[in-house]
Amino acid sequence: MTEKTFPLNHEQLEAAARRFGTPFYIYDERAIRENMRRFTKAFGIFPSFKEYFAVKACPNPYILKILASEGAGADCSSLPELILAEKAGMSGENVMFTSNETPEKEYIYANLKGNVINLDDISHIAYLEKALGALPELLCFRYNPGPLKEGNALIGKPEEAKYGLTREQIFEAYRVCKNKGVKRFGLHTMVASNELNPDYFVETAELLFTLAAELKRKEGVRIEFVDLGGGIGIPYRPGQKAVDYEYVAQRIRAAYDEIIVPAGLDPLAVAWECGRPITGPYGWLVTRALHEKHIYRDYVGVDASMADLMRPGMYGAYHEVTVSGKENAARDRVYDVVGSLCENCDKFAVQRELPEIVPGDLLIIHDAGAHGRAMGFNYNAKLRCGELLLRTDGSIVQIRRNETVDDYFATLDFAGLGAFTV
């Protein structure tokens, strides 16, 4: 038995697999909408609230369009992500450009579109000014609290992280920008990834609220929004507990009343840049078992690989695996579930208790709706799989086709090969 759910029954999934071929990602529109509404409702207790969905988590314009219709903006970190958000209808200040090591032309594009630019370093003030001719009216800075804040496993200790400005630099940055005529300011941080401890986010908010109050007192700078970044985790493993949005929102609201209101900063907008908790639990990778192999261990070889879903191979990340139609069968076998890459880390599950699996079975890899297809790659000339969307009316549409051999060869010049003498 598993606590994880999947929106299609065995017959429906078999039908989808026959129609579209395997492997594929499938996302549940209804569940994504309901989750986004719960998130927005919980944080609606602030005078103004915005979720900038981290595009990198699920860079598909159909998903972005759904989220935009639920009020989300986008958090982007590259020119293609900016364009993707725009195509999905997210524009102007609904787009946060939280990038690092950013080339000039990307700042120029973001500025042209009226997106919010979030600078990652003090030296980027001069770089931006030179690129644009003048600084924009609105600027945000990414704060790195260093030893003031404990890190978490995925992102590491803040003082070892490449991101953001130090505490000293933050004061100088806002002072310089104010003197250069910047009128509106945001303050941002992101210090964790896949964190399940709700109190961690309350502490992060307290840290930013306190800093916003100090910036007003010391530099006369009025911060208009605080962006708490992403980092809200999801319960990948059985028994883990999801972050309670309402608890986090209410505790952050208490910190707001304690710090922001007396500092004269009310109304202050509160923002998130979450990706993982928004779509992660509502996307699945579906793959068919091709082979079984019994050597020193028992293996199930599937038609997806680490090129489709990198997290287990890269981080040793846990993803629940279920077998369609065998949800209630006893988990009395132990398998490594593996892909076809010539890398031994290409394993979706290691020494996992599962029901007996035979070639042809459909395996469902759970919690793959964020940082899943997005992190795919083409090593070993593996062609990445497509994406399906289960609509609220029960229909299934393809929102990204599978890659083809031509896609893989698209950057190569075979026409010129004949004239290339060796």
Ligand X SMILES: *Cc1c(COP(=O)(O)O)cnc(C)c1O
Question: Which C-beta is closer to ligand X: that of 211 or that of 232?
Answer: 232
152 is a site residue for ligand X (CB under 6 A): no
- Please say which residue, 232 or 323, places its beta carbon nearer to ligand X: 232
Torsion of CA 272, 275, 280, 283, to 10 degrees: 130
Size of the site for ligand X (CB under 6 A): 17
Nearest approach, Cβ of residue 326 and ligand X (Å): 31
Alpha carbon distances (Å) from 342 to 367, 372, 381:
25, 20, 11
Contact call for residue 346 and ligand X (CB under 6 A) = no
Catalytic residue check, 342: yes
Q: Which stretch binds ligand X (CB under 6 A): 20-28, 52-60, 214-222, 343-351?
A: 52-60
Residue with tokens 């490594």: 336
Report the residue from 151, 158, 229, 313 that binds ligand X according to the rule CB under 6 A: 229
Residue choice 13, 32, 54, 68 for contact with ligand X (CB under 6 A): 54
Among 136, 145, 231, 386, binds ligand X (CB under 6 A): 231
Instruction: Produce one character per residue of 15-33: b if its CB has 16 or more CB atoms within 10 Å, e if not.
Output: ebbeebebbbbbbbbebbb
Kindly state the smallest distance separating residue 96's Cβ from ligand X, in Å: 8
Q: Name the 3-class secondary structure at 159.
A: helix
Compute the least distance from the CB of residue 155 to ligand X, in Å. 9
Q: Do 154 and 234 form a contact (C-beta atoms < 8 A)?
A: no
**Among 23-31, 122-130, 187-195, 335-343, which window interacts with ligand X (CB under 6 A)?**
187-195
Longest dimension (CA), the chain: 75
Nearer to ligand X, 60 or 98 (CB): 98
Distances (CA, A) of 32 to 36, 87, 244, 391: 6, 20, 16, 11
User: Looking at beta carbons only, is 276 or 400 nearer to ligand X?
Assistant: 276
Amino acid at 85: A
Please report which helix (H) or strand (E) contains residue 176, including its range: helix 167-179
Gyration radius (Cα) of the chain, Å: 23
Q: Which range of residues in 8-16, 54-62, 121-129, 327-335 is near ligand X by CB under 6 A? A: 54-62
Q: How many CB atoms lie within 10 A of CB 45?
A: 14
Our CB check for ligand X shows the closer of 202 and 357 to be 202
Give the interface segment with ligand X, choosing from 7-15, 23-31, 228-236, 296-304 (CB under 6 A). Answer: 228-236
Q: Interior CA angle at 374 toward 373 and 375, to 5°?
A: 95
Closest CA to 275 of 25, 67, 80: 67
Q: Should residue 230 be labelled a site residue for ligand X when binding is judged by CB under 6 A?
A: yes
Residue closer to ligand X by CB (options 52, 335) is: 52
CB of 141 to ligand X, least distance (A): 13
Whether cis (ω within 30° of 0) applies to the bond prior to 267 is yes
Q: Report, in Å, the least distance between residue 193 CB and ligand X.
A: 5
Instruction: Determine how β-strand 73-76 pairs with β-strand 48-54.
Output: parallel
Binding mask 247-276 for ligand X (x = CB under 6 A): --------------------------xxxx
Shortest gap between Cβ of 133 and ligand X (angstroms)?
A: 27
Task: Report the residue from 28, 75, 106, 120 that binds ligand X according to the rule CB under 6 A.
Answer: 75
Residue 220 and residue 264 in contact, taking contact as beta carbons nearer than 8 Å:
no
Catalytic residue among 58, 76, 140, 342: 342
Q: Which of 22, 94, 98, 305 binds ligand X (CB under 6 A)?
A: 98
Pairing of strands 321-323, 362-365: antiparallel
Q: How would you write 211-261 as a 3-class SS string?
A: HHHHHHHHHCCCEEEEECCCCECCCCCCCCCCCCHHHHHHHHHHHHHHHHC
The least distance separating ligand X from the CB of residue 351, rounded to whole angstroms, comes to 27
Q: How far is the CB of 331 from ligand X (least distance, A)?
A: 30
Pick 53 or 185: Cβ nearer ligand X:
53
In 97-111, which positions are buried (b, 16+ CB within 10 angstroms) versus exposed (e)?
bbbeebeeebbebbb
For the annotated catalytic residues, the residue numbers are 342
Q: Which residues bind ligand X (CB under 6 A)?
A: 54, 56-57, 75, 98, 190, 193-194, 229-232, 273-276, 370
